[in-house]
Amino acid sequence: MDVEKEVVLYLHEYGNTRESDIINYGVKQFNYSSRRMKKVIKRMVIKGKIHFIVHSKLDPPAVYVSLKEPLPPEIAKILLEAFFQMKTAEEDTQKILEEAAALAEQKSERGTHGHLR
């Protein structure tokens, strides 16, 4: 298992994350020691895959881990809009299918009761 890849996927999904949370994730998910997980994170920083953000306004200050190159805001906006349009289309399709099924059931009921044997 490629732990670095998993860390990148985690950051893609959840965004900026406290360093301690990433370390705990690695300990639980990959059965790594916290010391080994810290080494993985530092190696990723050196390689330029991720970087640290220090939030000094927090008390005590907290260190966060972030992807090196997040999506530019305009691309993120386009992707979100496309996602919501897709969700709306899926919901519309589901409603149409439910209505068609209800109509077919009504026709079926009328057909069996309306015929004489």
pLDDT of 81: 80
Same structural domain for residues 22 and 78? no
pLDDT of 74: 74
How many domains, the chain?
2
Same structural domain for residues 53 and 10? yes
Look up tokens 């640290």; give the residue.
Answer: 52
pLDDT of 60: 85
41, 65 contact by CB (below 8 A):
yes
Same structural domain for residues 76 and 62? no
Please give the residue range of the domain that contains residue 85.
Answer: 71-117
Same structural domain for residues 28 and 10? yes
Same structural domain for residues 8 and 50? yes
Q: Which of 34, 9, 8, 32 is nearest to 20 (CA)?
A: 34
Same structural domain for residues 61 and 87? no
pLDDT of 112: 60
pLDDT beneath 70, residues of the chain: 1, 69-73, 76, 111-117
pLDDT of 19: 94
Would you give the distance in Å from CA 117 to the centre of its chain? 58
Same structural domain for residues 56 and 14? yes
